[in-house]
Chain A
Amino acid sequence: MKLKGAQIFFECLKREGVEVIFGFPGGSILDIYDEMSRADVRHILVRHEQGAAHMADGYARATGRVGVCLVTSGPGATNTVTGVATAYMDSVPMVVFTGQVPTAMIGDDAFQEVDIIGITRPCTKHSYLVRDVHDIPRVIKEAFYLARTGRPGPVVVDLPKDVIQAYAEFRYPKRIDLPGYRPTTEAHTGQIRRAYQFIKKARHPVLYVGGGVIHASATEELLRFAEMNQIPVTSTLMGLGSFPAAVARPEAEGGVELHPLWLGMLGMHGTYRANMAVSHADVLIAVGARFDDRVTGKVSGFAPKAKIIHIDIDPTSISKNIEVDIPIVGDCRNALSKLIDMSQAEPIENLQDQRTPWLEQIHNWRETYPLRYVQGEDVIKPQFVVESIYRISRGEAIIATEVGQNQMWAAQYYHFVHPRSFLSSGGLGTMGYGLPAAIGAQVAFPERLVVNIAGDGSIQMNIQELMAAVCNCLPVKVAILNNRFLGMVRQWQELFYQKNYCGTCLDDASPDFVKLAEAYGAVGLRATKPSEVEPVLREAFSVNKPVLMDFVVEPDEGVYPMVPAGKSISEMLLV
């Protein structure tokens, strides 16, 4: 029996196990929407296609599964581009289906025609323009396979209207035939052995880990390897959650007990101890990280004394920004397992004696310059809000962020213990990411607490998605650290542009967030004094509805430590 292209589309999604589509309809994609009413899949109707892309992304980061988004041609497609680029930079598995004008009209500047394949070519892992209804199954199978394997990433599939209207026999291919795509997953044992010889001799080893550890589900191996060899661990923004920062759940009273090997995040807003440890390391083991400029600062000043071992699934990441001594191409989990086997077979002698001075040194760095802020009586400090979220959620929430100071404070003051619980746009730094990403995660985990830590600027970039949260009963919580500024940019102006605050002040230039929340049918809450922070959070976390919390915070607070652009990471500005 022949099926219509649009039916074939849903048959394929069923085979790929897709449960939810984030989308927005339009003329070119209407046949699929027509068929959707009969298909067994959940659809979240967004309010802007950028929101659809970020929701699919948030869903993917929180679950490890491929996020799916569906939009119409022309403006529907172009509206996803920021979301596609965001996913590309952070290696997020995602498939974006875009409508297209009928094949016969392609190239005629038809109504709502745009060359979305051309536009997204540099920010997708791969893309397809489907020209024949018979190709739909093969293309969809390949698209999902490419999105989730190797170094994951977004794939765009462009579907002309006549193709989804045509009929064909449906057959789902069993095999994938991509002769040009063979990611190396098995780490080279000889290279691993060489690496381990360096690690054995190291006096000041450091593990520098990134999002690749999470993508590869290698967090248990990382913990095991770090503990058995007593190697301190620092992480990139994307790697937060790959190593358990804290050893116990935070109690209502009293401090946090951090994992003794945890250094915190490194780089531009990294901790003093992480940046100092990397600067003094004699062996640096990079796992699933890519030596981004926000991490390395001035390249010649990064880990200047260290032999560098670099494990990554993507050969292009290796020796791109920094020349490494031992490159290891492969899956992080595979490589770490082999390192664990080697450490068991040939354990380091006198491990405790060897490590004690190094771990003591790190402890001293931590004591000298811990992350700190002073919470007075009158004005709420943004860091205090994040710490309170951490405490009240007992470290178990899924945290999304926007971009700017809010993002950095979330990274510094929320101590992540689980992978896939921190959703943040690292590579592209996309303001407006957090709210839709939080919604995507909430779709996957309806019972979990999902909090978007936001700035008063960023939240307005995709605020319309609050409506999608309300309509779909997705009780996300948004904590706006409202400093009445585009805070991170203001901080740069303060430090490097003689306090010329041009274009960054939002005082009296934002809506009343409480009323706004209510207008959308969500709950709006406000805290203006430190004593109100905890009651507001407790109330927000207890209602089963989306909540927008407006925390009126200190406008002049900065994120520290800070490595000025172009400086070595040991040259931190501290407070």
Chain B
Amino acid sequence: MESHDSKQRHTIGILVQNRPGVLARVVGLFSGRSFNIENITAAETNEPGITRITLVTTGDQHILSQIVKQLNKLIDVLKVFDFSETDFVDREMVLIKVRAEERTRAEVLRIADIFRAKVVDVSPHFYTLEVTGNDSKIGAIMELLEQVGIVEVARTGKAALARSKKH
């Protein structure tokens, strides 16, 4: 397919039967067909035996529709939902370890306060913050903390749900 649309990011929700190898099937499909995964999370839902995978991918409309169709074709996949078609909430949690020396500690706490981040660990030279939010909030706090000095970061990847009906 010849297509020149700009690359867009899409969040996709996938409900799967929690069978051995199911994650490998999903991820293998992306690598095997050269689709992109920007981030991915997987965990059990409230229904026993059913796992929700949330992933963020990039591509034009044509690629996205192939991704959705190919995912649906996997036997263990129960439901695929493209969030770009609807209103949804998404959150990600990030742990950020920052340099916290005498002169920067107050600044770190001030930034944490503004973003409602929690200090979850303190050591002589570092603070570790926990922050939850969507892409733009996380982007913003990271940018500010970068100036103080980020040591390392661990992100959970995104969780997403549609706002209204059940998917």
Binding site for B on A (CB under 8 A): 117-118, 121-122, 125-126, 129, 131, 146, 178-181, 299-300, 314-316, 319-323
Contacts and interface: CB of A to CB of B under 8 A. Distances in A.
Contacts of A129: 20-21
A212 to B, nearest CB: 15
A543 to B, nearest CB: 47
Nearest to B19: A128
B25 A121 contact: yes
A320 B1 contact: yes
A180 B75 contact: yes
A321 B62 CA distance: 10
Nearest to B1: A321
A314 B73 CA distance: 8
8 contacts: A121-B25, A129-B21, A178-B75, A180-B74, A299-B2, A316-B70, A319-B62, A321-B1
B75 A181 contact: yes
Contacts of B16: 180
Interface of B: 1-2, 16-17, 20-21, 24-25, 28, 32, 62, 65-66, 69-70, 72-78
A118 B20 contact: no
Q: Looking at A117, A179, A299, which has the most chain B CB atoms within 10 Å of its CB?
A: A179
A563 B62 CA distance: 27
A316 B66 contact: yes
A122 B24 CA distance: 10
B24 A316 contact: no
B28 A122 contact: yes
Closest 3 interchain pairs by CB? A316-B69, A126-B75, A122-B32
Contacts of B25: 121
A180 B77 contact: yes
Contacts of A179: 17, 78
Contacts of B1: 299, 319-323
Contacts of B72: 315
Given A179-B78, A321-B1, A316 B17 contact: no
A122 B26 CA distance: 11
B28 A319 contact: no
A81 B24 CA distance: 19
Nearest to B71: A316
B111 to A, nearest CB: 45
A316 B66 CA distance: 6
Given A314-B73, A321-B1, A322-B1, A180 B66 contact: no
Nearest to B78: A180
A118 B62 CA distance: 28
A118 B69 contact: no
B75 A117 contact: no
A316 B73 contact: yes
Nearest to B76: A180
Contacts of B77: 180
B75 A319 contact: no
B78 to A, nearest CB: 5
Contacts of A178: 75
Contacts of A146: 75
Contacts of B74: 180
B16 to A, nearest CB: 8
B142 to A, nearest CB: 36
Contact of A117 (B21, B69, B73): B21
Contacts of B2: 299-300
Given A300-B2, A316-B73, 17 more contacts: A118-B24, A121-B28, A122-B28, A122-B32, A129-B21, A179-B78, A180-B74, A180-B75, A180-B77, A181-B75, A299-B2, A315-B72, A316-B66, A316-B69, A319-B62, A323-B1, A323-B62
A140 to B, nearest CB: 15
Nearest to B70: A316
A180 B17 contact: yes
Q: Looking at A122, A129, A131, A146, which has the most chain B CB atoms within 10 Å of its CB?
A: A122
Nearest to A323: B1
A125 B66 CA distance: 17
B124 to A, nearest CB: 42
Nearest to B3: A323
A319 B73 CA distance: 15
Given A180-B75, A180-B76, A121 B69 contact: no
Contacts of A321: 1
B113 to A, nearest CB: 46
A323 B62 CA distance: 9
A323 B66 CA distance: 12
A530 B73 CA distance: 52
Nearest to A117: B21
A299 B21 CA distance: 36
Contacts of B76: 180
A315 B80 CA distance: 14
Contacts of B21: 117, 121, 129
Q: Looking at A117, A125, A179, A316, which has the most chain B CB atoms within 10 Å of its CB?
A: A316
